[in-house]
Structure 1
């Protein structure tokens, strides 16, 4: 169903703080042309935590409109309130999205039973497929493999985005779920090895900057051309690191701005523009990769 390189798309903002729909349309078109396999709209990288619900829904609506069915669109529907996540899912199900990405509830630190109840309630709210998202570095709560296995039995829960960076989790999960359950890496630094060890794809921050290369890496791994995949990864490995020298999506937005893909690198508070040293570091990396002059 969902495979390959899915970009965790940034949400462009004008200097005024309003959504930059012109840049958004251009980004979607660029990803279609670059061979990106799918878009995740308004996830963490899309600043879901600071977009009001009406704006969140509208950005997803615009992305679906710009994609025009040429590329799958998965909508970020996560929230630390189950009711809010259900509301987002129901509203965005009306927009012809292809599925949802829903994060483990943050700040609340729910028990595993609470995580199960949360995701089952979301999965029951629509008929669309849901991908679970485990990122304990941001949510504090860590979804166990046992919990994933229990949730995978729900017909609308089809996969997991694992952003732990722990490759042993992939082997554990694959043993615990059915063969058609989808395993996405949410950690670019280990994404290539994740694919080579049997993962199905990456939901990638780096794909914002190098969409063609990320898609090619996923395609190579999917054909079991692991040497080819690792050769691409060798070129990109330092970029993966540099994109996270400040909290995501600060550096990806700055990089896209310097590449001329965004009109502004504006973020929603409490996120602010990168420090001067960080700006210089990512600009040096972009120069090395031939992405700016």
Structure 2
């Protein structure tokens, strides 16, 4: 059964000028997404700069979002690691602070075999009781979750879905063929939401939802309720803005876009930094065209 249907925002993590986490702004962003109609919030994913947060910050970010949301929509904690024991620690801590589910990326860099990959996920899942969403993003991790691997992993009881960000539509279709209706398929690519929904997907874990949460949620629900024309119109209208927010490595442009929307800095932590001026101009142009500025 899907943890959520619709649009889950892969939330940016606001930071002070010195790079420390700005928990007050984080609360404001979480509240805004609840009010704007996001169907779930994913804290400490790629877009949340999780790879540069230390463990205390990582858990504090998830806990802050959980407390602000207060059960109104699901909060999903990103807790993947290339170190299985570290993944277990982050996952159990995220469950302890109230996360409704976990987003667990494949173990990057190590290049595990399918057998050891399954053992990795079994080890994490055995220590938590909340649902787990697999996260496949080969461009980041160097490891693709193949359809046959997903078919094997879905046998683990609390693995209940996948964020599929390979960009390979043929692979997504094959995964959809191999899983059942109780296994949630979420798009990890904002420009491929409707193709994924067309083969039985449940929604999107979205980057663009950081600046267009209402529109992105409505797009998914329009499609799921049969209003396909409206959904297609939204998907196509978003493409130039999606291209702008991925014109540099994520989350650099989208965090700048959130800053433009809020008219306040959210800052970055090295090795990420401010986008190029041309990127800023493109963001302003496309956000204006889309009616956000």
TM-score (norm 1): 0.97
Equivalent-residue separation in structure 1 for 2:149 and 2:83 (angstroms) = 19
How far 1:197 moved relative to its partner? 3.0
8 A contact 2:176–2:199 mirrored in 1: no
The equivalent residue for 1:208 is: 210
The equivalent residue for 1:275 is: 276
Aligned partner of 1:98 among 94, 97, 100:
100
Alignment of 1:1-293 (within 5 A): 1-260=3-262, 263-292=264-293
String of CA shifts for 1:94-148, please: whole Å, max 9, x gaps.
Answer: 1111100000111111112221111111111111110000000000111111110
8 A contact 1:254–1:274 mirrored in 2: yes
How far 1:233 moved relative to its partner? 1.0
Structure 1 residue runs of 4+, over 6 Å off?
A: none
Equivalent-residue separation in structure 1 for 2:270 and 2:241 (angstroms) = 25
Equivalent-residue separation in structure 2 for 1:192 and 1:206 (angstroms) = 15
How far 1:178 moved relative to its partner? 2.1
8 A contact 2:165–2:188 mirrored in 1: yes
String of CA shifts for 1:52-101, please: whole Å, max 9, x gaps.
Answer: 01100001000001101111100000111111000001111111111000
Equivalent-residue separation in structure 2 for 1:206 and 1:57 (angstroms) = 24
8 A contact 1:135–1:142 mirrored in 2: yes
Equivalent-residue separation in structure 2 for 1:135 and 1:110 (angstroms) = 15
8 A contact 1:39–1:72 mirrored in 2: yes
8 A contact 1:196–1:226 mirrored in 2: no
How far 1:170 moved relative to its partner? 2.4
How far 1:265 moved relative to its partner? 3.4
Which segment drifts farther, 247-256 or 194-203?
194-203
How far 1:192 moved relative to its partner? 2.2
8 A contact 1:3–1:201 mirrored in 2: yes
Equivalent-residue separation in structure 1 for 2:221 and 2:67 (angstroms) = 26
Equivalent-residue separation in structure 1 for 2:124 and 2:173 (angstroms) = 26
Equivalent-residue separation in structure 2 for 1:265 and 1:27 (angstroms) = 11
- Structure 1 unmatched runs, 5+: none
- Structure 2 unmatched runs, 5+: none
